[in-house]
Amino acid sequence: MIVGQMKKLGASPDWDRLQFTMDPHLSTAVRHVFVTLFEQGLIYRGTRIINWCTRCQTALSDLEVKPVERKGHFYHLKYERTDGGAPLIIATTRPETLLGDTAVAVHPDDERYKGLVGKKVKLPLMNREIPVIADSYVDKEFGSGALKVTPGHDFNDYDIGKRHNLAVLNVFDKAGKVNAEGKQYQGLSVTEAREKILADLATAELLVRTEDHMHSVGVCDRCERIAEPMVSEQWFMNVKPMAEKAIAAVRKGESLTLAEVEKRDDAIKIVPESWTSTYYHWMENIRDWCISRQLWWGHQIPAWYCDKGHTTVSRENITKCATCASARVVQDEDVLDTWFSSGLWPFTTLGWPEKTKAYNTFYPTNVMETGFDILFFWVARMVMMGMHFNEGRVPFKRVYLHAMVRDEKGQKMSKTKGNVIDPLDIIRDYGADAFRFTLSTMAGQGRDVKLSLDRIEGYKAFCNKMWNASRYVLMRLGHVASELPGDPIPKADFKKITGGKPLADWVASNRKDFHPLNKWILAELDRTIVTVDRGLEEFRLNESSQAVYDFVWGQYCDWYIEFSKELLGSAEHAARVGETQVCLMHVLEESLKLAHPFIPFITEEIYQHLPERPGMKQGAPLMLQAFPVAAKQDGTRDIETVSVWKSAIDTLRAFRGENNIPPKARPKVSYEVLDAKVADQFIAGVPFIRALAQLESLAGETGYLRGNPTTGEIISTTAKFFIPLKGLVDVDGELKRVEKDKQATLADIEFTKAKLTKPTFIEKAPKELIDKEKDKLKALENKIGELDHALERLRKLK
RNA sequence: GGGAACAUAGCUCAGCUGGGAGAGCGGCGCCCUUACAAGGCGUAGGUCACAGGUUCGAUCCCUGUUGUUCCCACCA
């Protein structure tokens, strides 16, 4: 199912290399690792206290036990002294464990109990005497300052017991029932035993009082049943020495850049960096890893026990004990923690321990991309195992911890909570591309993603936009039937236009002579390529996807395509048709490549519809094309030029919009350039401003309109437009619009003036900024003059 | 108990080393203009959680407060 989901999502790994940790080769490698570590003394079998799940009937690692706040009770019990002195009061949350008590502990400095240490108390209900011992673990302030010690069922008590050589009593069996040690309580479950014992204590007047108590208990990660600390025989791995090296590798990576770390094999960089401290903290406090599990599914531990009690650990299955040659051998029934084999993933999947070609080529790998929820479970173990078994070389150079998808309420998805969103459902409703794009833009957050259906909807629209833009391009290239009868645009013959050169090459060598609009869109494309590239390099996927989105929709569709209609449709620019067709095509193609990592399906589909062009094989997949590279050309001037046109168009559109001038109205307008510095640039854009502002005509002002008393003046930053207002607008409405503009401009002036008159600013701010502010002030004051003039005319007109 | 993060427009979120806050969705107005109504154009909407500090200047850096979240931890 998961593989199916990944394919639907468009994940593009080399599926031929799909592997499973239980595959024969990986199983062999797992055995090899286990036996090697055993021989190195890093794996051992021992009796320890571990967390035990009484439902799953298996040992759990520390990581598999989740602390949960539970309401409980704090019971104060009376332990009678054998010397007849005042009884000890002991507080506990788990009275049933008293069955396994082997001591009572007090703090060595506790004046209240000084004389008691070394004496004995009577264990309630059990008819057993246990010693009072002194141990500094005990907190004098907590409860009564006296602690019952149950080494068999409590981690702390186990440690205390070891320090004082106390007996370890197991009173529960693997199913969580009281065993024979519990005498009259045998057979009861933990909960039943607790109730019965409390009742008996009450009867015996040994239960002093009961309080409500909130405390955290460890529950099994899988089934949420309370984990029972139990003493049992398990396999452990000493990970401390490996952890030290694993810490060193990340420390080294901290002082390196992402690019630097890629060139070496002894350092790891974690992104986002804030996770490194978490990683250190865990690694520095790491304890021996309990690796055996009492499950029926997994890699069986390669250890055999003979009838004489000898243990044989072997890479091959054995039939005889290695020590006594007894043929009565039986393999350990336990299996390994699933993360044991997963921790070997980066090298066992490449054929290790054999030095295969794949291994030599791909180890160390470049990027490990996963969720932070398995940073310890998986990532840390891979680092430790990887370095240990590969001559200190790291398994991967960079770790990218992506954000975690949560549900709409921000909760982690889980099967038990039933709030899992199936990616297939989203793909069915919105498409894989929209889903991927959304995840990419949301990946910027450090921690979690609340999946927002509205946003997916928005990116679905983007995919649609891309499709429609492509349709337009194909029409303009004459490769799709235009619905325009008698469309004058010739079918683009790229071979002829570029002389057989690939479009990209032809553009690169000729772009300096292109029309400003074509130069401009190429410059915008270059900028976008740089941004997308940087984002991908630095794992800021949201910046990359956002840059693609903004470029395609905000520049290419909203402006360039609109401009191109004029460029292609007017006889004035007939000489630019071929060049413009190439640019439309080239920029579309490069955009498809930039967008492809995010929306692979639709971009591939569109790509397959693109017409034949020099150097391109029909049917070649987009996925295999080289990623775009930005030209090293300075497009600043072109971007500036077109921004002058855009701002003029914006001003005229705002005038139309706010005055509710119907789109069908085509006013005749004349202009006068206000900023002499941009006069040439402005004049080159006149036909395009006219077209996009939907004007009948736009001509240099000759005095006719200016002299006309019914003419209105529209002020943009670089130019003034004269428009006959009569019958076109409601003069009051236009007065309001210009007045609003004036107020905003005045506020601007005030702000800038305040800045410039502050002596400390003039003294300390960078000169560049001061000059910029001065220029700005001048332009604003100029504009006020023009606005006042416009207002005056409007008032007269009224 | 220790550590980390987050708090920006009604909603979901950008804002990369400090120089007058942006997008999408939603709202309002005008448009079915032949790529696109899953659209176009215009427009409203934010003391950037709160209080201090550093700075000529703070959404951005520092400290504290409040709220939310996550991770780690053996307080009976």
- Taking only the tens place, the pLDDT of each residue in A239-272 is 999 999 999 999 999 888 888 999 999 999 998 8
d(CA A438, CA A629): 25
The nucleotide closest to A94 (CA, C1' atoms): B76
Is residue A418 left, alpha or beta, with left meaning phi > 0 and alpha meaning psi from -120 to 50? left
Rg (CA), chain A: 39
Strand B contacted by A145 CB (< 7 A): yes
Q: Which of A13-17, A272-276, A434-438, A564-568 has the lowest mean pLDDT?
A: A272-276
Torsion angles phi and psi, residue A84, rounded to 5: 80, 0
pLDDT(A484) > 70: no
Q: Which of A5-19, A29-43, A220-234 has the lowest mean pLDDT?
A: A220-234
Q: Which of A305-314, A442-451, A716-725 has the lowest mean pLDDT?
A: A442-451
Q: Please give the average per-residue pLDDT across A650-675, as a whole number.
A: 90
pLDDT digits 0-9 by tens, A297-319: 899 999 999 999 999 999 999 99
| High-pLDDT (> 70) share of chain A, % | 97
Provide residues 449-488 of A with CB closer than 7 Å to any strand B atom.
449-450, 452, 454-455, 457-458, 460-461, 464-465, 468-469, 471-472, 475, 482-484
Q: How confident is the model at residue A555 (pLDDT cuts 50, 70, 90)?
A: very high
For the ranges A35-44, A399-408, A415-424, the maximum mean pLDDT occurs at A35-44
Q: Please give the average per-residue pLDDT across A142-162, as a whole number.
A: 89
8 Å CB contact between A463 and A417: no
Strand B contacted by A138 CB (< 7 A): yes
Beta-sheet pairing, A128-134 with A103-106: parallel
What pLDDT score was predicted for residue A221? 82
Q: Which residue type occupies A22?
A: M
* Interface predicted TM-score (ipTM): 0.95
User: Any residues with CB less than 8 A from the CB of A265 and at least 6 apart, and which?
Assistant: A364, A393, A394, A397
Q: Please give the average per-residue pLDDT across A615-619, as a whole number.
A: 87
pLDDT(A81) > 70: yes
Mean confidence (pLDDT) of chain A = 90
Q: Which of A60-64, A120-124, A395-399, A428-432 has the lowest mean pLDDT?
A: A60-64
A647 CA → B25 C1’, Å: 27
pLDDT digits 0-9 by tens, A590-606: 999 999 999 999 999 99
Q: How confident is the model at residue A411 (pLDDT cuts 50, 70, 90)?
A: low
Q: Please give the average per-residue pLDDT across A436-450, as a whole number.
A: 81
A611, two tokens: 């017409």
pLDDT(A669) > 90: yes
8 Å CB contact between A34 and A301: yes
What pLDDT score was predicted for residue A324? 95
d(CA A671, CA A718): 10
Is residue A410 left, alpha or beta, with left meaning phi > 0 and alpha meaning psi from -120 to 50? left
Side by side, the strands of the sheet bearing A269-271 are A269-271, A396-402, A365-371
Strand B contacted by A752 CB (< 7 A): yes
pLDDT digits 0-9 by tens, A165-213: 999 999 999 898 999 988 899 999 998 999 999 999 999 999 988 888 8
What pLDDT score was predicted for residue A417? 65
Provide residues 491-550 of A with CB closer than 7 Å to any strand B atom.
534, 540, 542-543, 546
A450 CA → B10 C1’, Å: 18
Provide residues 190-229 of A with CB closer than 7 Å to any strand B atom.
215-216
Q: How confident is the model at residue A410 (pLDDT cuts 50, 70, 90)?
A: low
- Say how many CA atoms lie within 13 Å of A326 toward its Cβ: 14
What pLDDT score was predicted for residue A402? 87
Nearest 5°: the CA angle A696, A701, A703 is 120
In the numeric block, the tokens 């009569």 are attached to A726
Provide residues 386-415 of A with CB closer than 7 Å to any strand B atom.
410-412
pLDDT(A485) > 70: no
What pLDDT score was predicted for residue A214? 77
Q: How confident is the model at residue A704 (pLDDT cuts 50, 70, 90)?
A: confident
Q: Which of A153-167, A280-294, A480-494, A643-657 has the lowest mean pLDDT?
A: A480-494
User: Any residues with CB less than 8 A from the CB of A33 and at least 6 apart, and which?
Assistant: A340, A344, A385, A389
Q: Please give the average per-residue pLDDT across A683-687, as a whole number.
A: 95
Q: Which positions in strand B are less than 7 Å from the protein's CB atoms?
A: 2-6, 11-16, 19-20, 24-25, 29-31, 33-36, 38-43, 55-57, 68-76
| High-pLDDT (> 90) share of chain A, % | 59
Q: Measuring CA to CA, how many Å separate A163 from each of A108, A137, A290?
A: 14, 11, 22
The nucleotide closest to A452 (CA, C1' atoms): B12
Strand B contacted by A376 CB (< 7 A): yes
Q: Please give the average per-residue pLDDT across A478-488, as a whole number.
A: 59
Q: Which is higher by pLDDT, A117 or A364?
A: A364
